[in-house]
Amino acid sequence: MNVSAADIKALARTKTTPIPVQRSTRQVDIRALTSLPAGKMVPIAAFPLLREDRLRSSQMRISFELMETVEILMNAVNVAVKAYLVPNVAFERFSGFDELNRAYEGIPNQEGGPVTPYIETMVAGAYGSIPIHKYLGFHAAPTDNINTAYIEAYNQIWNFRAKNRSKGLALRSRLQTDLATAFWQHDSFRHIVPDFDQAVIDGQVALNVVNSALPVKGIGIHNSDNSPGGATATYKHSLGDASWTTPWMGSEIGVKSRNDGGTWRPDVFAELQANGITVSLSNIELARKTQAFAELRKQYGGHDNYIIDLLMDGITIPEQQWRQPILLADKTTVFGVSKRYATDGGNLTDSVVSGATFVDLNLVTPVVPCGGVIMIVAEITPEQLFERQRDTYLHTTTVSQLPQYLRDTLDPEKVDIVKNGEMDTSHATPNGAFGYAPLNWAWSKSVPQVGGRFFRPAAVTTFDEDRQRIWAVETANPTLGPDFYLCNGMHTKPFVVTNQDIGESLARGVMTIDGLTVFGGALVEANGDYAEVLSEAPQTRIVKA
């Protein structure tokens, strides 16, 4: 048997490339009708991608209708639509592709350990008991076992958004079933943060101290009186004098003072020797590099620290892109409104206002080796006004409060403290710190002006008929906390019917997916054709002697 070198190489090589397969195409039609409560992240459509599937093309239109309001709203009502791909390996129960593959084949992740379920199940429970499934329109009998993938995907999406918005937001548990609170669209306040890394702006240079024990003068000197028996005594210096025999000083030890223009002040100081503190050029260079790398590190916020350390070392993590939700589309629009008057004779002056809008989505993905869930979520939120903000020029009382080119150019930090009173003049602690913003931010902000009979000097919760033209969700004494980022305390006072969901959506689309799914041929109703033909065929066979 002759074996060539190429044959030996082929036999000795362990391949990792899967066998070539014929990919198929399947079509998913989206027809989803649902309602949307105010201030919630509502799932309006979801479908799975199997392992090695790819969303090759898609076309979807989502139409929204706003329920009737009493008056035309003066502040905009926004609807934000986002589509995410949540890969299966992003679920919390999987530590990576290795555990996912073992779970897929039913193999324990560690020898002798339990098998991680590739598909996790739960009991469906009573009808409507899982709001995520209810708004998606998914049905199951109360005793059915169901897949938790849609619930996990929904919570992964919200947690991913929360991590990117603020580290102070509490995350949802992976199987939490209620609808999550929507996020405010703070386009005019995105630059305000609760804290900032001062070291990144200022930098820090290490100082080299030659003598770490610096001589201190002025402690231990006392007047030569009040000694035992009325005798005169001189108390020694506390440092550098060998007359002390114990490490402790008595109650007679004092502090040296000096007459400063008629006022006596302590005269205590540390004496630096010649060249006692030095600044090295290498430490200055270290501060510059640290500052630069700290700026780069900001873009990895939300990852675990060990992932950030690997990325900062320039190490590629091929599977990391699949370990988090992937944003496929993000569109925001504003409801257009129209007023409709009654047509019956007795109510010709009565009217209601309705709103409508739509968005178009075109989604595509690469081949997804781990499979996952594509979910489309929508949020209906009013424009948040912060109508009691300070008008910057109105509150400017000195020239020093105005921008000054030279002073501001030389400012090393270029950061302003945003006080509570800047956001709400009726704040209980107006001089407290609300957050931090870039220098002179107040001269480039948008302040809504709500006056006349709509003027409101403080946040109140009582009904005001005039204010039905404004959908204002206000918090007394606002802080840069969860209420600033999340639509907590949402109400429906401007609507004609206040105890129902305030929006409706209709999604229609076609998703073209190619993957490894094998489909059977077309079927026709059985009519005995095979038996009829078989009856005409010879059934006997020659029997050999």
- Give residue-wise pLDDT tens across range 435-444: 999 999 999 8
Query: Is 80 a domain residue?
Result: yes
DSSP H or E stretch at residue 437: strand 433-438
Work out the pLDDT band at 289, boundaries 50, 70, 90. Answer: low
Q: Is the pLDDT of residue 374 over 80?
A: yes
**Residue 527 corresponds to which tokens in the numbers above?**
């009519």
Q: What is the pLDDT of residue 191?
A: 82
Question: Do 31 and 158 reside in the same domain of the chain?
Answer: yes
Same domain, 126 and 92: yes
Checking if the pLDDT of 372 tops 50, the result is: yes
Tell me the CATH number at 175: 2.60.169.10
Following DSSP, what letter does each residue of 138-201 receive, concatenated?
----TT-EEE-HHHHHHHHHHHHHHHHH-TTSPPPPTT--SPEEPBP--TTSTT-BS---HHHH
Residue 462 lies in a domain: yes
Judgement on whether residues 69 and 165 belong to the same structural domain of the protein:
yes
The whole-number pLDDT of residue 242 equals 46
In angstroms, the Cα distances linking 61 to 36, 128, 375, 500, 506 are 17, 27, 15, 25, 8
Q: Which residue has the higher pLDDT, 199 or 86?
A: 86
Residue (of 195, 179, 255) closest to 479 by Cα position? 195
Residue 451 CA to residue 455 CA, distance in Å, equals 4
pLDDT-based confidence at residue 292 (cuts at 50, 70, 90): low
Q: Tokens representing 351?
A: 């009217």
Per residue in 331-350, pLDDT (tens digit) is 999 999 888 877 776 666 67
The larger pLDDT score, comparing residue 216 to residue 71, is at 71
In angstroms, the CA 535 to CA 186 distance is 78
State pLDDT tens for residues 485-523.
999 989 998 999 999 999 999 999 999 999 999 888 888
Chain segment 62-86, per-residue pLDDT in tens: 999 999 998 888 889 999 999 999 9
Pairwise pLDDT comparison (430 vs 295), residue with the higher score? 430
Structural domain for 335, as ranges: 20-195+319-382+498-515
Q: What is the mean pLDDT of residues 115-122?
A: 94
pLDDT at residue 393 is higher than 60: yes
In a domain, 365, yes or no: yes
Co-location of 365 and 471 in the same domain: no
pLDDT value for 168: 86
Domain count, the chain: 2
Greater model confidence, 254 or 380: 380
Section 162-177 average pLDDT = 92
Percent of the chain with pLDDT over 70: 76
Tell me, what's the pLDDT at 239?
45
pLDDT at 67: 94
Whole-number Å distance between alpha carbons of 352 and 65: 14
Residue 476: phi, psi to the nearest 5? Answer: -70, 140
Higher local confidence (pLDDT), 373 or 311: 373
**To which residue do tokens 């009808």 refer?**
127
Q: What is the pLDDT of residue 363?
A: 93
Over range 173-179, report the average pLDDT: 95
State whether 365 and 481 are in the same domain: no
Strand pairing partners for 372?
49, 87
Instruction: State pLDDT tens for residues 492-502.
Output: 989 999 999 99
Residue 176 shares a structural domain with residue 28? yes
Residue 237 lies in a domain: no
Distance CA 308, CA 35 (A): 40
CA dihedral of residues 70, 71, 74, 76 (deg, nearest 10): 50
Most confident range (mean pLDDT) of 298-302, 320-324, 405-409, 474-478 is 405-409
Same domain, residue pair 57 and 185: yes
Tell me, yes or no, whether 236 lies in a domain. Answer: no
Q: Are residues 420 and 369 in the same domain?
A: no
- Identify the band that residue 277 occupies on the pLDDT scale cut at 50, 70 and 90: low
pLDDT one-digit tens code per residue, 454-475: 888 888 767 778 788 889 888 8
For residue 149, tell me if it sits in a domain. Answer: yes
In this prediction, residue 206 carries a pLDDT of: 59
Average pLDDT, stretch 28-50?
96
Q: The pTM is what?
A: 0.78
- 8 A C-beta contact, residue 47 and residue 28: yes
- Please report which confidence band the pLDDT of residue 300 belongs to, taking 50, 70 and 90 as the band edges: low
Residue 367 sits in the same domain as residue 412: no
% of the chain beyond a pLDDT of 90: 46
Q: Identify the residue with better confidence: 32 or 466.
A: 32
CA-based nearest residue to 356, from 474, 503, 516: 503
Q: 3-class SS at 2? A: coil
User: β-strand 24-36 against 351-361: which pairing, if any?
Assistant: unpaired
User: Which pLDDT value is given to residue 238?
Assistant: 46
* Same domain membership, residue 73 and residue 137: yes
Would 187 be classed as within a structural domain?
yes
Instruction: Supply angle C-alpha 330, 336, 338, rounded to 5.
Output: 160
Same domain for 177 and 57, yes or no, is yes
Query: Which residues lie closer than 8 Å to 529 by C-beta, 6 or more apart?
Result: none
What does pLDDT average to over the chain?
83
Above 90 in pLDDT, residue 378? Answer: yes
How many whole angstroms separate alpha carbon 536 and alpha carbon 341?
77
Q: How far is CA 508 from the centre of its chain?
A: 29
Q: Is residue 138 part of a domain?
A: yes
Length of the chain: 545
469 lies in the same domain as 366: no
Task: Show the tokens assigned to 412.
Answer: 């090393």
Least confident of 4-13, 28-37, 90-99, 414-423: 4-13
Q: How many Cα atoms occupy the beta-carbon half-sphere of 296 within 13 Å?
A: 12
Helix and strand numbers (H, E) in the chain are 11, 20
